[in-house]
């Protein structure tokens, strides 16, 4: 089972993804679930993550290919081996981030991004939890952080477009992408996530 968490910056993905992994490790046993994230979920990816998050690129496709390169290596080194051993993989951000951010955020055509994603061979998520929060909630959380990356500095209208993208994707692929209300206390949100994953494990 390959589960991804998606949503705008500050939606609570990290908190909830870690909770889910802890829950699964308790329920299924040690080693039966794995937490990872993009960009930069593999050993040696530090420089690539740093490059992606700190640089401003002139050409809109530069970041697409960097995210995709990161994803390919992440898939080969971490995700595929774990899935082959029957481990449940929980990943913060995956290919829907490329759709929502690069299409709705940056303005590349969806159909072109789909073609680029289809070229790269990597496991497709079985389920995706889309943590849906208002831009106000998300920005309040992000601005409380110390060091903002270049995406987190983009501001309100960028995040509004990205949320709109995620909602479009969820409506397009209802069986895989499950929107979960991310507003409220972490315990409440986690209970909604478990409900939405009923029957998966």
Residue ranges in contact with ligand TYD by CB under 6 A: 9, 13-14, 38-39, 53, 67, 93, 97-98, 101-102, 149, 151
Nearer to ligand TYD by C-beta: 65 or 191?
Answer: 65
First to last CA, the chain: 8
Nearer to ligand TYD, 168 or 201 (CB): 168
The β-bridge relationship of strands 2-6 and 88-92 is parallel
Kindly state the smallest distance separating residue 118's Cβ from ligand TYD, in Å. Answer: 15
Q: Do 36 and 89 contact (CB within 8 A), yes or no?
A: yes
117 or 197: CB nearest ligand TYD: 117
Q: How far is the CB of 115 from ligand TYD (least distance, A)?
A: 15
Closest approach of ligand TYD to the CB of residue 55, in Å: 12
Mutual orientation of helices 110-119 and 60-74 as an angle, nearest 10°? 30
Half-sphere exposure of 196 (CA within 13 A, CB side): 23
Q: How far is the CB of 14 from ligand TYD (least distance, A)?
A: 6
The structure tokens listed for 129 are 């939890």
The burial of 133, by beta-carbon neighbours within 10 Å (0-12 exposed, 13-18 middle, 19 or more buried), is given as: buried
State which residue, 39 or 179, has the beta carbon closest to ligand TYD: 39
């Amino acid at each position: 089972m390959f589960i991804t968490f998606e949503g705008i910056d500050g939606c609570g993905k990290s908190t909830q993804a870690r909770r889910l992994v802890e829950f699964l490790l308790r329920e299924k046993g040690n080693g039966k679930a794995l937490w990872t994230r993009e960009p930069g979920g593999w050993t040696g990816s530090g420089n690539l993550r740093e490059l992606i998050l700190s640089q401003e690129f002139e050409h809109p496709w530069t970041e697409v290919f960097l995210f995709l390169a990161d994803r390919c290596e992440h898939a080969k080194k971490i995700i595929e081996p774990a899935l082959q051993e029957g481990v449940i993989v929980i990943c913060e951000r995956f290919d829907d981030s490329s759709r929502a951010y690069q299409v709705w955020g940056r303005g590349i055509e969806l159909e072109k991004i789909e073609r680029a994603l289809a070229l790269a061979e990597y496991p497709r998520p079985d389920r995706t939890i889309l943590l849906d929060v208002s831009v106000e909630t998300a920005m309040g959380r992000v601005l409380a952080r110390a060091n903002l990356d270049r995406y987190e500095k983009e501001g309100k209208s960028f995040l509004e477009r990205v949320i709109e993208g995620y909602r479009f994707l969820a409506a397009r692929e209802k069986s895989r992408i499950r929107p979960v209300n991310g507003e409220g206390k972490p315990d409440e949100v986690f209970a909604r996530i478990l409900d939405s994953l009923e029957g998966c494990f």
